[in-house]
Structure 1
Amino acid sequence: MYSTNTAHTVQTVLKPNNRSLAFDANRIRVYGERIMEDYPHLEIERWHRSVLTKLRSSSVQAAEITQAGIMSALELVSREEPDWKFVAARSLLTKLYKEAAVHRNYKAYPDKPYGDFYKLIKRLVEIGVYRQELLDAYTPEEIRDLGAAIEPVCDELFDYIGLLTLRERYLATDFDTRTMELPQERYMVIAMYLMHQEPAERRVELAKEAYWAMSNLYMTAATPTMANAGKKVAGQLSSCFIDTIDDSLEGIFDSNTDVARLSKMGGGIGVYLGKVRARGSDIRGHKNTSSGVIPWIRQLNNTAVSVDQLGTRKGAIAVYLDVYHKDILSFLDLKLNNGDERMRAHDIFHGISIPDLFMEAVEKREDWHLFCPHEIKKVMGWTDANGRPLGLEDFYDEKFGEGTFREKYAEAVANIQLSRITLPAIDIMKRVLKSQLETGTPYMFYKDAANRANPNKGHGMIYSSNLCTEIFQNMSATVVEHEELVTKDGQTRIVITKTPGDFVVCNLNSIHLARAVRADVLDRLVPIQVRMLDNVIDINNIEVLQAQHTNRRYRAIGLGTFGLHHLLALEGIAWESDKAVTFNDNLYERINFLAIRSSMELAKEKGTYELFPGSEWENGGYFEDREYTTGTRVGEFITTEQWQQLAADVRENGMRNGWLMAVAPNGSTSIIAGSTASIDPVYELLSYEEKTTYKIANPAPDLSDKTMWFYKTAFRLDQHASIRMAAARQRHIDQGQSFNLYVRPDIRAVEFLELHLHAWRDGMKSTYYVRSQALTVEECESCSS
């Protein structure tokens, strides 16, 4: 039956160890039966014929047969038969197992594909791929014990694109880029490294627990952690950072240097420029001398391009400016493709910080006034308790419709000494909408909502967000105080003294909702995730010292989620339904409860974060503001009494972490886990990953006759339904969520505006990209958790 012309053409199979075998087409079929044993509904004959037709020489390498098996399975992937992607993955696994066995000098068997784990650790430490801490923290016996806990069967959870992504971006190789580390070993090494500073008596147990969470794909670590944990590389483990630029030449250039250093290490950067004086402002009394923020943004743009991330891709930097800053109009045009190129920065991402008062002015079609922050401080004379000058950016509205910012803004408007630009607020919003449809940005950061919900509002201000709009933490500028020549022991040095600001750091990982919720493992999963994130803070060595300082004062983490649409489809819940809103509300309340309880338990074990006293965690405001303890909004999973008890426990024992939750984009890591990204709807039922010589079909996860009815695609969905779900989640997320809007290019301006007004009215803290079918935007790799 299988004696085709191809079978007669191929005579010899060449093996890696210089052996050769007579070609036998039936052996390929037997191999196919093994990799397809869990998919009896797929037709093996079609795959087998396709493999044979791809073998055209008289002698072929064994690797060519494996590759033919991969390509044949990929060609059969369709909406009707999506499981071929798992067959392709198993064929790729075979290739990885064989490569690792050859390069590490062991024999791989189908039922035992992994080699000696201790030998791998020892060898890769010796050649400088792994870190020495792995051997210092664990004994050989412990490492062998951990190796015995590795579950090769978990490799079968990957689909092809997930496994390929893991192999190309994350698995450790030697310096000749040869396959050394296998998927489950990557997860175990991450677990070992994140737990290596835990007490010796619990270290192995905790590493096994972290491995359980990752290997079963109940969660993913963020890209920097996935790529770098346990490896002796230049990269670090935190995902991204936010800096606040001081209004001084030293502050601006120092910030640029810090951004370059962090970008070099693979971090994504957010930069707030709202304190920098506007174009035409005075400098040391000299009138009309300031060039404004645009030239400094162009410098950051050059930094992003020239200081790439670990030699692989250009840096990723987002800049934020307040909507009442005098330079806002030129800022909004930064990424447009027409106009004066000297005022453009095409490689930068941009976002605007928006108070409630501006959105009200847009609704009412009222005028809006733009000011220079330097002039505001000089003329208005506002100061804090320590006598430091304050600007409009240092205030927010404590409650909707009233509060400090609008009072200060009114004072500024009434002061005739202040120069200003006045124009209708709707005209600014039109510029925003135009830029979003053309470039996908600016991001929208709703400052009052962010600061009202800040659990550490007593310690600072949130001016903007990060590169992916999910991080909301206290920010302040690092100030260069002075520099001096110091001579000691005959050595002369220049000593620069700085007062460190709050330089935000985000440490991320994410729950795979479709697997963890349906497996009912959240109670076990969240505590180990919180511990993993907390340990990143102590392990990570950040070159920028004020970032290191802030990271350890607040110990902020960002527990996120992905696979929401995947979960809704499996549960049979329509995206646009009221049931979906309620489901989100209850689910994220449960996750939040578990995260807070986990951080409180860690505080009992290891101590609270430094600034817990005076926080909303301590005084109970966090729980009251969200109506957890009032009995007025009771969820499905957590009772009012449970919340009241947890609030009391937090007051008594403290919190280990100042912020807990942030929902990141999860681009590449959700691909590895075979699920839908973040909180986004599925883009297409069958999308394609472009490679240099072919396209790989990628069906929606668990696509079937049942789920396809609940996989309404992104551009067909009512975006107001997405906003309602996001608003329900936001109450339970102390930071933010990377929330995208999907719009058609022909959307009417009034409809587009109403989406933004809806998001703002419902208490959203931010929106991320505006995605149009005519627009391609580049994801942030660092926040792909």
Structure 2
Amino acid sequence: MPQLVVKPDNRQLAFDEMRLSVYADRILNGLEQLSKETLLRGVQSKLRREEVSGEEISNAFTMSALELVTKEEPDWKFAAARSLLTSLYKKAAVNRRYKAYPEEPYGELYPLITDLVKKGIYREELLTHYTKAQIAELGECIDYTRDLLFDYIGLLTLSDRYLAHDFDGRVMELPQERYMIIAMFLMHREPEEKRLELVKEAYWAMSNIYMTAATPTMSNAGKKVAGQLSSCFIDTVDDSLEGIFDSNTDVARLSKMGGGIGVYLGKVRARGSDIRGHKNTSSGVIPWIRQLNNTAVSVDQLGTRKGAVAVYLDVFHKDILAFLDLKLNNGDERMRAHDVFHGVCLPDLFMEAVEARGHWNLFCPHEVKKVMGWKDANGRALGLEDFYDEELGQGAFREKYAEATANLELSRITVPAIDIMKRIMKSQLETGTPYMFYRDTVNRTNPNRNQGMVFSSNLCTEIMQNQSATVIEQEELVTKDGQTRIVISKIPGDFVVCNLNSIHLARAVPAGVLERLVPIQVRMLDNVIDINNIEVLQAQYTNSQYRAVGLGTFGLHHLLALEGIRWESEEAIEYNDHLYEHINYLLVRSSMELAREKGRYPKFAGSDWETGEYFTKRGYTSGEQEGKYVTAEQWRQLQQEVAADGVRNAWLFAIAPNGSTSIIAGSTASIDPLYELLSYEEKTTYKIANPAPDLSEKTIWYYKTAFLIDQNWSIRMASARQRHVDQGQSFNLYVTPDIKATDFLQLHLNAWKGGLKSTYYVRSRALTIEECESCAS
């Protein structure tokens, strides 16, 4: 055993074995089912040098606890977390020069804020909008015992990625302080008379882990950093050289700030199309996608990882076949873009052609506009991409497609629809993508369809909001006060912004706090819109006009296991239907109440919210599909209130992947089934075992893992949820590499027929997929 312990100030103390026992008692308090003797044996085996530091002793406890984590004894992950917590407390106390005690490990909040504002780490608003007395009051609300809710991987993720560090990399902020700073920053513009109560409410929601904020908000709120608070963005590229390069520049600027980007390229002319009358001169969309690929690699996200960009193209675009091969590892490398993700936009008519084994025509959007002569009320030329079917089996898109097909002046490529689908499925099994985006389903249920079209989705397929291209109007030399400048005038398009946070279902639902939780979540999201400063002005403008938000959920499988509900069951489908209707009702009501207080979103007039169609389309008011938690009469009452007072936010519900934040919360990701009962996080020199949340003799029977589940049950659950989600769901399909083509095709057909708006990755055990960090709300 060691003889000496070296303290952080270089003092040397005699090693006292009894202190190991006291420390073990502390981290096992409340975990009496775990063996103290087994833990101490592990610790002692790691302390064989004559002289050790206090940090080495802490690490020995942490690593010994981690080595004991199994499916049978999963709670060792909490013992490891408590050891890591103790180390964090000590480091923060040394770095901030205060004394930490086991019964009071946190320092005072006001000195922390003043010091980090002075150092340029925190934003000045934390001092200009709160008095010393108010900050002291908020400091009294910090409850360090809530740190015990973290398991080891959750706490490690939080401390490594989100807690504030000084410029020398030393930890300065502790977990509960991060939550309090987020709450203070998001509420700093609220009226002074209720600001503190709203801060306390937001802190309550986050610190109890009833919810999580999105990664950009978690990481950047209250910090004086270059990053912003929104998760991701969607751009629509204009069919012009200026528009294409402007879009690339905007992607670079947003990627630099940590945002994930979705880019719709369906308006860009195809390969072989004319340019200014010169035949066969266009190189099509692939070279521009390669430019975006280079941007994603070269302009990284705040210096931490390469940029994340998804590109979308319509299945009726002439370049679709080359597009589907973008990420394959064979063929012409000049036609590949391995660092972007891709998604394909599918109308009902195509899926019908696949099922009927019919033919499919591919067109150039530029030629369609030139030859067909379709125009909107303002005289703007329209392409096939500007139409959708208003009803299943009938509508404007199929009519325009038939017109284009019948026009012999219009060039096209005709292929069997099933051949395109085979290319899609081949790419999905090899690379996990393309994503599937069912454009007719999306636009039929778009509550703001009176204002425009939804052409594609974002990097994670859950955001579905109106889009349009930003167009350069003119460029001129202007001389004023003896200075000559080049002034560029642009007409801003709808440049989508994603503002996200998520409910921890497995904590919030059993605790019965949804009615209290959802209103503060909506307010937090709405405040992000006003606080955020987005460099790309059309994104800032769109954000202000629609005030769109995306409240999501995670921990669904965790919740079902706690409730004793099997994933593959009618009970699970019914449970999803009622639960998500309840959440949606609370969402709409919260946004309506916020509109009463602060005003409706500027483009509310004429929306499905105002006309009431939002409610009737979903069957809420008829009484024919009455839910367990919300009656038809309650919906009818809310419909009347929304018509009178509006809603604050044009879109409300979007279920993101929640990768990182669900890890922090110690739960299952998003709406996904559990991946493994015991998974492992790989570190440089060791592996960390991560058991399923709340794994026990009771819950293990309800944790059937992803690749063993019949995916049709997952599709049916997603279909039940989709009625209540005004945007989309990051819905993954889990398949084995040997899946039959007919079975794989049927999954896609079932997803489309079930009313899903998109599918995200096709996950196979043979694939390793790197997800968008920004969207992991």
Question: Under a length normalisation based on structure 1, what TM-score does the superposition of the two structures give?
Answer: 0.99
1:773 is displaced (CA, Å) by 0.6
> Offset of 1:56 from its aligned partner?
1.5
Shift of 1:567: 0.1
Which amino acid in the other structure matches residue 769 of structure 1?
Answer: Y
What is the aligned counterpart of 2:288 among 287, 293, 296? 296
* Residue aligning to 1:535: 527
C-alpha distance in structure 2 between counterparts of 1:154 and 1:105, whole Å: 23
- CA distance in 2 between partners of 1:613 and 1:145 (Å): 42
State which of 415, 424, 430 in structure 2 corresponds to 1:423: 415
Report the Cα distance in structure 1 between the residues aligned to 2:292 and 2:301, rounded to whole angstroms.
14
* Corresponding residue number in structure 2 for 1:626: 618
Does structure 1 residue 743 correspond to structure 2 residue 741? no
**DSSP-derived class of the 1:661 partner:** coil
Partner of residue 647 from structure 1, selected from 625, 639, 645 = 639
CA shift, 1:57, in A, is 1.1
Matched to 1:745, the amino acid is P
Confirm or deny that 1:265 pairs with 2:265. no
After superposition, the C-alpha distances for 1:236-262 in whole angstroms (9 at most, x for unaligned) are 000000000000000000000000000
* Cα drift, residue 29 of structure 1: 1.1
C-alpha deviation, 1:26, in angstroms: 1.7
Query: Which one of 482, 498, 513 corresponds to residue 490 of structure 1?
Result: 482
Is the partner of 2:541 in helix, strand or coil?
Answer: helix
Q: Deviations over 1:268-325 (max 9, x none)?
A: 0000000000000000000000000000000000000000000000000000000000
Give, in angstroms, the shift of residue 464 of structure 1: 0.2
The sequence identity of aligned pairs, in percent, is 75
Q: Who is 1:591 aligned against? A: 583
- Could you tell me which residue of structure 2 aligns to residue 617 of structure 1? 609
Counterpart AA for 1:415 = N
**2:686 corresponds to which letter in structure 1?**
Y
Q: 2:444 aligns with which of 439, 445, 452?
A: 452
Kindly state the Cα deviation for residue 768 of structure 1 after the two structures are TM-superposed. 0.1
Aligned position for 1:228: 220
Partner of 1:77: 69
CA distance in 2, matches of 1:634, 1:416: 51
Q: Over residues 147-175 of structure 1, what are the superposed CA-to-partner deviations in whole Å (9 max), with x where a residue is unaligned?
A: 00000000000000000000000000111
> Aligned to 2:406, which of 411, 414, 417?
414
Q: CA deviation at 1:130?
A: 0.1
Give per-residue Cα distances to partners, 1:51-76, cap 9 Å, x unaligned: 01101211100000000000000000
Partner amino acid, structure 2, of 1:645: Q
2:425 maps to which residue?
433
Partner of 1:365: 357
In the alignment, is residue 382 of structure 1 matched against residue 370 of structure 2? no
Matched residue, 1:700: 692
State the Cα deviation string for residues 488-526 of structure 1 (Å, max 9, x = none): 000000000000000000000000000000000000000
Report whether the alignment pairs 1:576 with 2:568. yes
Give the AA of the match of 1:38: G
Q: Distance in 2 between matches of 1:17 and 1:113?
A: 19
Amino acid at match of 1:682: L
Structure 1 runs not aligned, ≥5 long: 1-6
Q: Using the TM superposition, give the Cα deviation of residue 19 of structure 1 relative to its aligned residue in structure 2, in angstroms.
A: 1.8
Q: Distance between the aligned counterparts of 2:643 and 2:612, measured in 1?
A: 7
**Cα distance in 1 between the residues matched to 2:308 and 2:320:** 21
CA distance in structure 1 between the aligned counterparts of 2:197 and 2:113, rounded to whole angstroms: 19
Q: Name the CA distance, whole Å, in 1 between partners of 2:12 and 2:418.
A: 75
1:139 aligns with 2:131: yes
Q: After superposition, where does 1:459-608 map in structure 2 within 5 Å?
A: 459-608=451-600
Q: 1:25, 1:280 → 2: CA distance? A: 79
Tell me, yes or no, if structure 1 residue 181 matches structure 2 residue 173: yes
Query: 1:779, 1:249 → 2: CA distance?
Result: 31
Amino acid paired to 2:120: G
Counterpart among 93, 105, 108 of residue 116 in structure 1 = 108
Q: Secondary structure at the match of 1:518?
A: helix
C-alpha RMSD of the superposition: 0.4
Structure 1 position 632, deviation (Å): 1.3
For 1:554, give the aligned amino acid. Answer: Y
Secondary structure of the structure 2 residue equivalent to 1:247: coil
CA distance in 2, matches of 1:686, 1:619: 50
Shift of 1:542: 0.1
2:80 to 61, 82, 88: 88
SS in 2 for 1:220: strand
1:324 aligned onto 2:316: yes
Q: Give distance in 1, aligned partners of 2:313 and 2:459.
A: 13
- 2:142 counterpart residue number: 150
**1:728 — aligned with what?**
720
Distance in 2 between residues matched to 1:56 and 1:390, nearest whole Å: 76
Q: Give the distance between the partners of 1:382 and 1:25, measured in 2 at CA.
A: 84
Residue 239 of structure 1, aligned match among 217, 231, 235: 231
In structure 1, the residue corresponding to 2:512 is in which secondary structure? Answer: coil
Question: How far did 1:415 drift?
Answer: 0.3
In structure 2, the partner of 1:3 is none
Local SS of the residue matching 2:477: strand
State which of 692, 705, 714 in structure 2 corresponds to 1:713: 705
Instruction: Tell me by how many angstroms 1:21 deviates.
Output: 1.3
What is the identity, as a one-letter code, of the residue corresponding to 1:526? V
1:400 to 372, 380, 392: 392
In structure 1, C-alpha distance between the alignment counterparts of 2:387 and 2:770, rounded to whole Å: 33
Instruction: After superposing the two structures, state which structure 1 stretch, 23-32 or 458-467, moved more.
Output: 23-32
Any residues of structure 2 matched to 1:58-73 within 5 Å, and which? Answer: 58-73=50-65
Q: In structure 1, what is the Cα distance between the partners aligned to 2:538 and 2:142?
A: 39
Inter-partner Cα distance in structure 1 for 2:13 and 2:727:
60
Secondary structure, aligned partner of 1:191: helix
> 1:657 maps to which residue?
649
How far, CA to CA, are the matches of 1:686 and 1:38 in structure 2? 23
How far apart, CA to CA, are the structure 1 residues paired with 2:129 and 2:149?
30
Distance 2:366 2:233 in 1: 25
Q: Which amino acid aligns with 2:326?
A: L
Q: Which residue of 2 aligns with 1:4?
A: none
Amino acid paired to 1:343: M
Which residue of 269, 273, 286 corresponds with 1:277? 269
What is the distance in 1 between the residues matched to 2:453 and 2:268? 17
Cα distance in 1 between the residues matched to 2:171 and 2:47: 25
Residue aligned with 2:510, SS: coil
SS of the aligned residue for 1:495 comes to strand
Secondary structure of 2:511's aligned partner: coil
Query: How much has 1:18 moved relative to structure 2?
Result: 2.3
> How many residues in Structure 1 have an aligned counterpart in Structure 2?
777
Q: CA separation in 1, counterparts of 2:29 and 2:133?
A: 36
1:278 match: secondary structure: coil
Q: Which residue of 2 aligns with 1:105?
A: 97
Give TM-score, length-normalised by structure 2.
Answer: 1.00
Q: Which amino acid aligns with 1:400?
A: L
